[in-house]
Structures are given as C-alpha cells and as structure tokens.
Amino acid sequence: MSLQREEANYFGAGPAFLPTDVLRQAAYDLFNFENANLGIGEISHRSKTAMKVIDDTKANFKELLNIPDTHEVFFMQGGGTGAFSSVAYNLMANYAKRTGKKGKAAYAVTGGWSKKAAEEAQRLGFDVDIVANGKANNFTSIPPYSEWKAIDADNTAYLYVCDNETVHGNEFNSIPGPEYLPEGVELVADTSSNILSKKVDVSKYGLIVAGAQKNVGLAGLTIYIIKKSLLEQASDDELRALNIPLSPIALSFPVVVANNSAYNTIPIFTCHILRLVTQKLIEDGGIEKKQEQNEYKAKILYEALEKYPSLYKLPVEKNSRSHMNVVFTLPSEDLESAFLAGAAERDLTGLKGHRSVGGMRASIYNAVAIESVEKLVAFVIEFAEKNQ
C-alpha cells in the first residue's frame, strides 16, 4: 500500500484535515518509531521516549504561542466536552482555596458550544450566571461588552467564553479587558476550533482549552494552558465542607500536571501527531505567517459570497464572523443540494452545515491550503452565475 495520496480539498469541521506529510510520517512511526521495532502507540506512556514526545509537544506550544513562565501546558483526554466539566471542577476548587468560599461562574453564551458548557456547569451543581446570551438573535453576532451583564466581582471565580463557535460561525475579535472583567476573575477560553490560527496574548488568560481534532491534530487529546497559580486547590475536606463537588481524579489539573500529563494512559500517538503538526507550523513560519494566510483565505471566501447577496445569505454580522468556520445558506433546500453536488463533482467536500442549523459551512482551518480555498471561491462564483 502506498503512502501517497492526492491532496484533498476538504472543509469538514472536525475531525479536520491534516497535512499529508504529517500523516505520512505518523504512519511510519505507528509501525516503527525511531527504529525501536515498536510503534509509537505501543510504547509505555511513562517511558523516556513517551515523556520526550510530551515534552517536545509542550515546548512547541510554548514557542508558537510565546507562553510565559507564569503558565503551564498539559494534555488530557475528554475533548472540549470533557473540558466543560474539568474547568468548572478545578477553577471552583482554586477559588475556594483563594477565598475560603463557594464561588460562582460567569458564562457568555455566544453559540452552541458555550451554551453546552454553561449547561454542564449547572448540571454539576455550580452556580452559573449568564452574562451574555446571543440566542435571541440566533447567535448571529457577539454582543459588545458594554451590553453584557455586570459580573459579581465579589463572588465570581471565572468568566467562560468560546472564542470561536464552530457551529454558528462567529468569533471574538477582542477579549474582555479590565473595563469589563473585574480583577481576580479569571478569563477562560475554549479555543478548540481556532487554536494556533492567530496570535494570542496568553498572559491575559487564566486558562485556555482546546480539543485537538478541529485545527491541530487527531481526536483524543485536549490542550490546556493554565496560569500556574490556578493549580492551587482546596483540599477534599475543605471542598466538602463548602458543598463544592469534587473533581474526578483523572480530571484534576494538579494531579495531571504533577504527572506530566501521564497520570492515566495518555494516547501518545495522538500527542505525537500534535508534535508533528506544531513542529511543521514552526518550520513554516509560525503563528504570524499562519494568521496572515488564514485572514487571506477568509477574506477571499467572504468576498465571493458577498458578491451574490440574492443567492448566498451570510447570517453572522461582519464584525463577528469566524476566520475558521464560514457559514452561509442558499434560498432553498434544492439549491443547497445542488451546491453540494456540484462541489463534490469538483472534489470540494465537507461543506454541509451542522445538523442543528443546516446550510453550508466551510471550515478553513490551518491545514486547508490557500489553493483549496481558491478552488472553492471559483465554484462559489460559478454556481452563482448559473443560479442567481
């Protein structure tokens, strides 16, 4: 069997497209890693070899995002959905340690994923305050901070935002600053679908989380970048006394960090994929270069769609549009079916929108080549000329 493949023009939202040369190297390594006569997935997760994979991957993230010494990088299983729980458990335990009381959490609900995150925190028994909610306008924009509900500074542990909503196609173009976010309230961001797509000032965040499978790797690992001071937590007895739910041991940030992400069996092959992807990103010019490419891809696609307003409807307001997930609809199901069929004939795949909202969605993640987006743009124009 050959390890060659024709480059795909794939726009699926996740698991997402990965660089072919990364997958080719990973395929060899799955069979025989570093001439050890063992595959990367067969080695002990606590061996020196596995620890080096973890350490190298962490180092790549630190280099790419210029992560300061105040923050730690680690990996856990559970995806973005698992992070809904782990964030609430751990940041509330830290708040109890800092203040001696049970805190509450603020959530900005700007799309389907932040809505699920808030609902999970509530389900686990935490006090959740919704400070922004775009549901009334179908999440077509992210409200300005001046319209958000004020945060209860005396009792709130953290503010949770989803930086890029994969389903609804909106993205924050700034982060809550001191004019809105009170001192002592930690900023938590789910960046699952836009991590490593743009420059980020990590020092502004208490915690950044990202499921790997949308923009930087395979499903199976979640990236966490946490302010080290947040790893200090109240004891189990102290948490019980305050009626604060205890975190499962496998989701305990201090335990995972103390064991270099290998308290339980880390999917080391998935971590190796992350290492290869991040190393390639470094070699290709880093975040600044990738952000420039991503902005260009989004620009040409949005401009093509905007040229034909009678055919393509862009539900998200301009200042909230995602650079990663471009969503649009056509006037009828028949036209949408015809668009998908025509795209498939041109090997443009993965364009069907999420089942909860319908329409089209082009996910133009880091690994999606400029040439692929240019082919999609050409088809968008061709289809419009024939059908408007």
Q: For residue 237, give Cα distances in angstroms to 67, 147, 218, 250.
A: 34, 40, 38, 18
One domain for residues 138 and 190: yes
Whether 9 is in a domain gets the answer no
Same domain, 311 and 162: no
In a domain, 14, yes or no: no
Q: Give the per-residue pLDDT at 5.
A: 77
Choosing from 190, 198, 227, 290, the catalytic residue is 190
pTM: 0.96
Same domain, 347 and 277: no
**The last residue of a domain, from among 250, 281, 312:** 281
Q: Which domain holds residue 307?
A: 286-387
Question: CA–CA separation, 108 vs 117, rounded Å?
Answer: 10
Is 301 in the same domain as 272?
no
In a domain, 372, yes or no: yes
User: Is 243 found in the same domain as 309?
Assistant: no
Q: Residue 45 — pLDDT band, cuts 50, 70, 90?
A: confident
Claim to verify: residue 122 and residue 253 sit in the same structural domain: yes
- pLDDT for 361-385, tens place per residue? 999 999 999 999 999 999 999 999 9
In the numeric block, the tokens 């890693």 are attached to 33
Task: For residue 85, tell me if it sits in a domain.
Answer: yes
Distances (CA, A) of 219 to 15, 109, 210, 235, 305: 7, 25, 11, 32, 31
Domain-terminating residue out of 247, 281, 315: 281
Cα angle 19, 21, 22; round to 5: 65
Please name the residues in contact with 197: beta carbons below 8 A apart, sequence gap of 6 or more.
Answer: 215, 290, 291, 294, 323, 324, 365, 366
Nearest to 268 by CA among 87, 94, 51: 51
* pLDDT confidence bin for 357, thresholds 50/70/90: confident
Q: How far apart are CA 226 and CA 74, in angstroms?
A: 8
Structural domain includes residue 12: no
Catalytic residue among 115, 214, 227, 297: 214
Judgement on whether residues 365 and 241 belong to the same structural domain of the protein: no
Instruction: Give the domain CATH number at 300.
Output: 3.90.1150.10
Instruction: Give the model confidence (pLDDT) of 298-308 as tens digits.
Output: 999 999 999 99
- Give pLDDT tens digits for 131-152: 999 888 899 999 999 999 999 9
Would 55 be classed as within a structural domain? yes
212: confidence class by pLDDT, cuts 50, 70, 90: very high
- Do 101 and 217 lie in one domain? The reply is yes
How confident is the model over 87-94, as a mean pLDDT? 98
The residue-averaged pLDDT of 109-138 equals 95
- Asked whether the predicted pLDDT for residue 8 surpasses 90, the reply is no
Confidence of residue 85 (pLDDT cuts 50, 70, 90): very high
3-state secondary structure of 350: coil
Are residues 100 and 165 both part of a single domain? yes
Comparing 33-42, 236-245, 341-350, the range with the smallest average pLDDT is: 33-42
Say if 20 falls within a structural domain: no
**What is the model's pLDDT at position 3?**
76
Domain finish residue from 230, 252, 281:
281
Residue 19 lies in a domain: no
Judgement on whether residues 101 and 137 belong to the same structural domain of the protein: yes
**Structural domain count, the chain:** 2
Asked if residues 267 and 43 have their Cβ atoms less than 8 Å apart, the reply is: no
pLDDT number for residue 222:
97
Contact 224, 208 (CB under 8 A): yes
Please tell me the predicted confidence (pLDDT) of residue 1.
59
- Whole-number average pLDDT of the chain: 95
What pLDDT, on the 0 to 100 scale, is given for residue 291? Answer: 98
User: Do 294 and 269 lie in a common domain?
Assistant: no
Shared domain for 144 and 236, answered yes or no, is yes
Which of these is catalytic: 113, 115, 198, 297? 113
Catalytic residue status for 113: yes
CATH number at residue 122: 3.40.640.10
